[in-house]
A and B are shown apart, each in its own frame.
Chain A
């Protein structure tokens, strides 16, 4: 504390500033004085990377919005005009499109970390739930962003997804028309999606992310061993297994940023469509209400849920299962009844269960990209069953399997 005051007394601009804004106090509280577990591994990069991608999407989005003209008559042409005729937009617009996919890569790895180390368990349940709300908002944001250019996949993808709301009993039909603002996907839909995508949801995302960080600060970070470092304090009142966030994790995160940007640059500059996964081929044609693309598939980050939707031959039940498959994540803090947080201190049953879930998620993702015929139908049904089985079995396996001894101190190897 006195170090802070000494700084202020050193005079000059720093002192002037600190009398008016709690700059040094903030640095002390949130950076140099905030202790995080010292055993973070590679899974712990993805939170800061998610924040980085959020900022990148905002900045590239600001510039794309300068040239994009929303609406049925102008959207498609404005994208072509911008990437061909406005200086450097041939780079900035693909950064935005590829950035959306990278956002989901990072977020899925971030969520996987939480599942590996039990970061959703008490006292971090609310942190997890806020994260899930961020995930939902992100899915809405990405969906609307994809519809905006009014390509053929934008149109038909919007058709399919909006029609899903029609499966809700009673209000379904009216709801679909209300969302569209017209009898079919058209100008009204595109312009309202533009407003939501550019202002409303990013604003909401920013607030949610801030809330997410406050919730994290409140409980402190979990770690790969799943033990609470605040339970073992040293003579200085700081956790013995903790290290100040600054400089250790600020510097480590910078390396993560460098590596991430390198991979991002490789994709943006050399394979921006990523084989049609990041920018789908049918979307290089303008929207055509008379011509459906050969395979309607959402972008890869939605396809696990799409596979679940199609697995069931009944539209209403399929839609319900799809909604449940996303909602199921919200219940993880209470489904998981183990004493130990981390997968490291659970038995083989838990390890197999979680490993199977990760593989199931990836297989469903692959299946959602495939046409819904032949062997794929059977596979989708099997893996949908496995997906839900995870959540049900977790309730029982976690109670039996994760109660052994945990170490007093974190596992750390110098690096």
Chain B
């Protein structure tokens, strides 16, 4: 049966071996736990249908009158598309001092829109219609000298939530709670009247 007599020759407890084995087990277990968490965490990434729906959005520009704005959805975000008139383009100069980031150093835009007009083609302005402060939809205030703003308002966007102001190239004015210019998504043109939001000009042709 079992050995119940008091044992005088109890073997020495090998503490260092125990410490090592505890560390090895705990370490392997921790690695296993983290690896197990990966599929669960990854399951929150956008699904295949989200990515399919996030495909480029095509816009027909033939109906867009000068001075008008169209809104489309791309990757669940509102995109503003404005047909800028020559007057609107002219209004872009002359108030660099009132802007927080006139050369668009801090803001997010594709390389090919890093120019004074912040556009691939000056007459079509494309931007994500989300205020860079806390995410509301900025409203259009295209009329210069708009009564609700000020006499020297050059025209642009005004966010009703906390009062951020942007010019007609989406550049943010001093005094706005927002700190960066409106984000510009990748986009390109296919012919004169077809705008494709979500595809750079270099990538055109590849699906």
Contacts and interface: CB of A to CB of B under 8 A. Distances in A.
> Do A's and B's CB atoms come within 8 Å in the complex?
yes
B2 A63 contact: no
Contacts, number: 40
Nearest to B4: A409
Nearest to A64: B43
A87 B48 CA distance: 8
Contacts of A352: none
B47 A407 contact: no
Contact of B25 (A59, A87, A92, A254): A254
Interface stretch (A78-86, A193-201, A282-290, A326-334): A78-86
B39 A88 contact: yes
Contacts of B25: 254
B2 A84 contact: no
Contacts of B48: 84-86
A87 B43 contact: yes
A87 B2 contact: no
Contact of A89 (B1, B4, B38, B43): B43
10 contacts: A85-B47, A85-B48, A86-B43, A87-B39, A87-B43, A88-B40, A92-B40, A240-B4, A409-B1, A411-B1
Contact of B2 (A81, A89, A91, A409): A409
Nearest to A412: B2
Contacts of B45: 87
A84 B52 CA distance: 13
A412 B43 CA distance: 48
Top 10 closest A-B pairs, CB basis? A88-B39, A85-B48, A412-B2, A86-B47, A85-B47, A88-B43, A87-B42, A87-B45, A88-B42, A85-B49
Contacts of A19: none
Nearest to A240: B4
A20 interface: no
B40 to A, nearest CB: 6
Contacts of A86: 43, 47-48
A92 B39 contact: yes
Given A85-B47, A86-B47, A91 B39 contact: yes
A411 B2 contact: yes
Interface string B48-62: 110000000000000
Interface string B12-29: 000000000000010001
Contacts of B29: 254
A181 B45 CA distance: 37
Interface string A71-104: 0000000000100111111011000000000000
Contacts of B38: 88
A254 B25 CA distance: 10
Nearest to B41: A88
A413 B47 contact: no
Interface string B31-44: 00000001110110
Nearest to A90: B39
Interface in A365-415: 407, 409-413
A59 B1 contact: no
B6 to A, nearest CB: 11
Centre residue among B4, B29, B45, B47 by max chain A CB count within 10 A: B47
Contacts of A413: 2
Interface in B62-82: none
Nearest to A261: B32
B43 A92 contact: yes
